[in-house]
Amino acid sequence: VVLPLHPRASACGKVILVGEHAVVHGYPAVAAGLPGGVELTAEALPDPRAPIELRIGEWELDLELTATSEHPVARACLEVLGHCDGPVAGWRIRGRSALPARAGLGSSAALTVALARLALGPGAADADVVEASLAGERVFHGRPSGIDSEVAARGGVLEFARGRSVQAIVLGAPLRLAIVPSGIPRSTADQIARVQAQLARLPVAGAAALSCLGAAVRESRAALEAGDPLRLGALMDLAHGVLGGLGASSAELDRLCARARAAGALGAKLTGAGGGGCIVALLPPDRETALEPAAPGSPAPFTVEVAP
């Protein structure tokens, strides 16, 4: 039986605070949900056999979901709907997002989680929504760790370890983050492969680097719980350096991090797969710190306040 879609659903974006890439290799990572990830609405088309229409203006997406489409978004969405035993024709889906797409902020996970919720309904368990989302995420990213989908579904600040655990972190103090988009697109799958190649070249030091990122995640969780921004900022700087050594950064991301620190950030690092996308900077709790766009005309930086 093909069930109808629910009228609306939403999901968060995400920002990884510490632990990206290492999380692919079984280490934990901490991430925070970003509000405004994606909001979808669905209405039935007059012709139940007409292809599903998907339009998200902010992401310049205007697609028909057909079995022969080669567009990765169309393929991923059909995978999610198929996984949920949802309809594969006869609906118009409209979306809105406050986040840039393909910038390391979890836009694809937000889309696949919200779509799974359209199919499974508001009462569906997070674990089922995440599993359906992953069917789509694999189309985009190969073998993602699943952290993006978990944060998109649950929001808040989480510690995640692949196949082992997802735990909510209770903050000791509010977090003030600035996200600075580089405006440079990148592919998560390519970035994972780049880090993989570096790990193969450096079997001993590479493994030590991953374990250092794992230790940085444990200390970051303690710093988040204690409300200790100086320690968290230092850990973010450390993580950025280690990720650079593993091949995940770029000259532009290094420049943006250095500039954020010079402007008063307590720490700054690439977030997500790196190579392009965004940096995340930890802002001091007690001082206004304004960050400039990466370059004239590139997307504006924005601030996120995460309350305890």
Residue 212 burial by Cβ neighbours in a 10 Å radius (0-12, 13-18, 19+): middle
What part of residues 81-120 is at the interface with ligand MEV (CB under 6 A)?
Answer: 104
30 in Cβ contact with 221 (< 8 Å): yes
The amino acid occupying position 151 is V
Query: Could you say which of 147, 223, 242, 282 contacts ligand MEV (CB under 6 A)?
Result: 147
The rounded distance, in Å, linking the Cα atoms of 84 and 3 is 9
Query: Could you say which of 11, 15, 24, 280 contacts ligand MEV (CB under 6 A)?
Result: 24
Closer residue to ligand MEV, CB minimum distance, 51 or 104:
104
Closer residue to ligand MEV, CB minimum distance, 23 or 239:
23
Closer residue to ligand MEV, CB minimum distance, 93 or 134:
134
Closer residue to ligand MEV, CB minimum distance, 135 or 192:
192
Instruction: Provide, rounded to whole angstroms, the least separation between the CB of residue 112 and ligand MEV.
Output: 13
* Binding of residue 145 to ligand MEV (CB under 6 A): yes
Query: Could you say which of 114, 216, 273, 291 contacts ligand MEV (CB under 6 A)?
Result: 273
* Binding of residue 23 to ligand MEV (CB under 6 A): yes
Following DSSP, what letter does each residue of 115-153 receive, concatenated? HHHHHH-TTS-HHHHHHHHHHHHHHHHSS--SHHHHHHH
* Binding of residue 188 to ligand MEV (CB under 6 A): yes
Residue 190 annotated to the active site: no
Could you tell me which residues come within 8 angstroms of residue 60 by beta carbon, excluding any fewer than 6 positions away? none
In the three-class reduction of DSSP (H, G, I as helix; E, B as strand; rest coil), residue 281 is classed as: strand
Could you tell me which residues come within 8 angstroms of residue 73 by beta carbon, excluding any fewer than 6 positions away? 54, 61, 63, 111
Q: Residues interacting with ligand MEV, by CB under 6 A? A: 16, 20-21, 23-24, 104, 141, 144-145, 147-148, 188, 192, 272-273
